[in-house]
Amino acid sequence: MNIYVKRSYISEKGSTLEVVQGDITRITVDAIVNAANSQLSHGGGVALAIAKAGGEVINQESRAWVKKHGPVQFDAPAYTSAGNLPCQYIIHAVGPIWGEGNEDTKLAAAIRGSLKRAEELNIKSIAFPAISTGIFGFPIDRAASIFMNEFKRYLSAPDEKAVKHIKVVLFDEKTLASFVKAFDAVVTSESKD
């Protein structure tokens, strides 16, 4: 699958945010975010696609992380090397399962935690999938708005940020349409004010 940029924004400081249609395992960035579960068992969805494309080292490092640090928390994603993927790291973010309570807060924490982990790793470019919107059942439109608000807040912060390029990489048309709509509502409308 080819990569198509559907929306793009450049902040006053020159940082970029893009909504992209494509395969996250083929994106060339410093790190990609994996939509993980707390045990880092990559058995389905984006997590399985990333683990397959990256190779067995991702599963090995994931098991080692959980053994050393325990289950991954919403606000403190794990990270591993990227194996065969065209990036340096995979940041494993745990999003909420719809219906467990406090889902909006947990998803926002997973996004912020991923960006914080990226800064700790001195990452300049990062790609996110639509965390929690697959088998975890988070409503896509609602998630898209949370993502865009968190990214806008991050890129608008007065302090200098390490992460300069954020991509949201979406595979299917329905999810892409929701994220484009949220981008237009949150990022573009606020940029014109």
Domain residue extents for the chain: 4-191
C-alpha angle 94/97/103, rounded to 5°? 85
Query: CA–CA separation, 182 vs 135, rounded Å?
Result: 21
Phi-psi region of 130 (alpha: psi -120 to 50; beta: other; left: phi over 0): beta
Q: What mean pLDDT do residues 164-189 have?
A: 93
Owner of token pair 């990226």: 118
Query: What pLDDT score was predicted for residue 1?
Result: 61
Fold of 4-191: Leucine Aminopeptidase, subunit E; domain 1 (3.40.220)
CB neighbours of 154 closer than 8 A, spacing ≥ 6? Answer: 112, 115, 161, 163, 166
Q: What mean pLDDT do residues 157-171 have?
A: 90
Query: What pLDDT score was predicted for residue 162?
Result: 86
Query: CA–CA separation, 21 vs 3, rounded Å?
Result: 6
Average of per-residue pLDDT values in the chain: 93
**pLDDT category, 189, cuts 50, 70, 90?**
low
Query: What pLDDT score was predicted for residue 22?
Result: 94
Query: What pLDDT score was predicted for residue 126?
Result: 98
Query: What pLDDT score was predicted for residue 160?
Result: 80
Answer for the pair 107, 75: CB distance below 8 angstroms, yes or no: no
2-13 confidence digits (pLDDT tens): 778 899 999 888
Can you give the three-state secondary structure of 142-189, one letter per residue? HHHHHHHHHHHHHHHCCCCCCCCEEEEEECCHHHHHHHHHHHHHHHHH
Question: Who wins on pLDDT, 190 or 159?
Answer: 159
106-160 confidence digits (pLDDT tens): 999 999 999 999 999 999 999 999 999 998 999 999 999 999 999 999 998 888 8
34-52 confidence digits (pLDDT tens): 999 999 998 888 999 999 9
39-95 confidence digits (pLDDT tens): 999 888 899 999 999 999 999 999 999 999 999 999 999 999 999 999 999 999 999
Please state the pTM of the whole predicted model. Answer: 0.94
DSSP state of 95: P
Does 193 have pLDDT greater than 70? Answer: no
Element (H, E) at 111: helix 103-120
Query: What pLDDT score was predicted for residue 191?
Result: 47
Query: What pLDDT score was predicted for residue 43?
Result: 84
